[in-house]
Amino acid sequence: MEILPVTISPSELIEFLFLELNNLPDDRKGLNKTYEIRDMVIAAFSVFFTQCPSFLEHQTMRLICWMRF
């Protein structure tokens, strides 16, 4: 049996993550709840997805790649 790769768009991936992350437990107490757990996980995921620790660096790399073609 051949395993075929699954292709999804970035927007579909983000939508899936948002739906799945809404159910994460949040045991934080007090004033430590400014940001939701979902938002923190999405922010961490974005670093791996773009492969750049800096959003500005990512945008610069995209511009350089775009200018080559």
pLDDT over 80 at 17, yes or no? yes
Report yes or no: 20 and 6 within 8 Å, Cβ to Cβ: no
Residue that the structure tokens 């993550």 belong to: 17
- Span 18-55, pLDDT tens digits: 888 888 888 888 887 788 888 888 888 777 776 766 77
Residue spans of the domains in the chain: they are 39-69
**Residues 6+ positions from 17 with CB-CB distance below 8 Å:** 41, 42, 45
* 11, 14, 15, 37 from 40: Cα distances, Å: 18, 13, 15, 5
pLDDT over 80 at 16, yes or no? yes
Q: What is the pLDDT of residue 27?
A: 87
